[in-house]
C-alpha cells in the first residue's frame, strides 16, 4: 500500500478475542483500519497450522493484526471495538468456541499501547460493567504467524458479517 504524501504512517495493533473470522471483520470495516490479517500468536510452536492451533497444544491464540491510520482512528478507539466484539470475562471461550486458542488477549506493540490497554481494562473493571472479572491478558507482541489464505477475510469472501 502506498501512502499519500502527508498521510499518517500506519501503526499496528494485535488482538485475540475468540474465532478470528468475526473479529477480523469487525476491525476490517472500521474507519481508519487499512489492513487486517488473521493468524496465530502467543504460543511456542513455530509456523503452526490451523489444525495444530485447534489442538490447543501450540499455545497460540487466534489473533487479528490490524494496520491503522492513527489520524483516522486512535488506538483507544480500537480498544473500544475490541471490548465490544467479545466477552472479556470468558476464560478460553467465546460463544461455542472453547479452548486456549480462543482466549482474550491484547498484544501490545509499544509502551503507549500497553499503558492504554491497562488503563482501559482498569476502567472497565472499576465501572463494574461486567458481573465477573475481566480475564483479558495484556502481553507484549510475539511473532505473528499468518493463518492459511482461506482464513483471510473469511466472512467477507462469503458475503456475511458475523459468525454468531
- What are phi and psi for residue 109, nearest 5 degrees? -100, -20
- Specify whether 163 is catalytic: no
Q: β-pairing, 145-146 with 97-98? A: unpaired
Find out whether 76 and 120 touch, Cβ atoms under 8 Å: yes
**Which positions ≥6 away from 14 have C-beta within 8 Å?**
41, 63, 64, 65, 66, 106, 107, 109, 141, 144
16 pairs with which residues across the strands? 105
**Which residues are identified as catalytic?**
19
Amino acid at each position: 500500500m502506498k501512502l499519500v504524501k502527508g498521510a499518517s504512517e500506519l501503526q499496528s495493533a494485535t488482538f485475540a478475542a475468540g474465532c478470528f473470522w468475526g473479529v477480523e471483520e469487525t476491525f476490517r470495516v472500521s474507519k481508519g483500519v487499512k489492513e487486517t490479517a488473521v493468524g496465530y500468536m502467543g504460543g511456542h510452536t513455530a509456523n503452526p497450522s490451523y489444525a495444530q492451533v485447534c489442538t490447543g497444544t501450540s499455545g497460540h491464540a487466534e489473533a487479528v493484526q490490524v494496520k491503522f491510520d492513527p489520524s483516522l482512528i486512535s488506538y483507544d478507539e480500537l480498544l473500544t471495538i475490541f471490548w465490544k466484539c467479545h466477552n472479556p470475562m470468558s476464560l478460553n471461550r467465546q460463544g461455542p468456541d472453547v479452548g486456549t486458542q480462543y482466549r482474550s488477549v491484547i498484544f501490545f506493540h509499544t509502551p503507549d499501547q500497553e499503558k492504554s490497554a491497562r488503563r482501559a481494562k482498569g476502567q472497565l473493571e472499576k465501572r463494574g460493567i461486567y458481573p465477573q472479572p475481566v480475564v483479558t491478558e495484556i502481553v507484549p507482541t510475539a511473532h505473528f504467524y499468518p493463518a492459511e489464505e482461506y482464513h483471510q477475510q473469511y466472512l467477507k469472501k462469503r458475503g456475511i458479517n458475523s459468525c454468531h
